[in-house]
């Protein structure tokens, strides 16, 4: 099985400002090649023993396989919640020039 070169990493935040901080920091630090913020969305969840509902903003970031775990760790550091949702989905296919760009953009400095 071929390993995905590119990953889509997603988190949700309680405010657009928190989502923007995560997106701007991750891209500025070259942990992600790009980010999109969508929302607001209404979220329904079970938390601390009770039903909850709230407004959230989703931030989705593109990164290379080599940077995925560092990106997830940085999101956790920046996130206002103690136990945020941070998930990643492999991009099964994309054009090579896009994958090359993401990998080059997120490569650790030598």
Could you tell me the CATH number of the domain that includes residue 79? 3.30.70.120
Q: Which residue, chain included where needed, has tokens 């103690």?
A: 82
Domain count, the chain: 1
Q: Which domain holds residue 41?
A: 6-106
Q: Is residue 1 part of a domain?
A: no
Q: Is 99 a residue whose pLDDT tops 60?
A: yes
* Residues 40, 48: Cα–Cα separation, whole Å: 23
Contact between 19 and 39 under an 8 Å Cβ cutoff? The reply is yes
Q: Is residue 59 part of a domain?
A: yes
Residue 105's alpha-carbon distances to 73, 95, 100, in angstroms, are 18, 16, 8
Mean pLDDT of 24-52: 96
Q: What are the φ and ψ backbone dihedral angles of 51, each rounded to 5 degrees?
A: -75, 135
pTM value > 0.85: yes
Band of pLDDT at residue 87, cut at 50, 70 and 90 = very high
Band of pLDDT at residue 2, cut at 50, 70 and 90 = low
* Residues 43, 63: Cα–Cα separation, whole Å: 26
């Amino acid at each position: 099985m071929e390993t995905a070169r590119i990953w889509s990493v997603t988190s949700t935040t309680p405010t657009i400002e928190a989502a923007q901080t995560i997106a701007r920091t991750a891209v500025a630090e070259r942990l992600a090649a790009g980010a999109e913020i969508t929302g607001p969305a209404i979220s329904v969840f079970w938390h601390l023993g009770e039903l909850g509902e709230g407004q959230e903003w989703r931030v989705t970031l593109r990164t290379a396989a080599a940077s995925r775990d560092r990106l997830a760790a940085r999101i956790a550091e920046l996130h206002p919640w103690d136990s945020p949702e941070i998930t990643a989905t492999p991009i099964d296919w994309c054009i090579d020039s896009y994958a090359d760009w993401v990998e080059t953009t997120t490569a650790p400095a030598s």
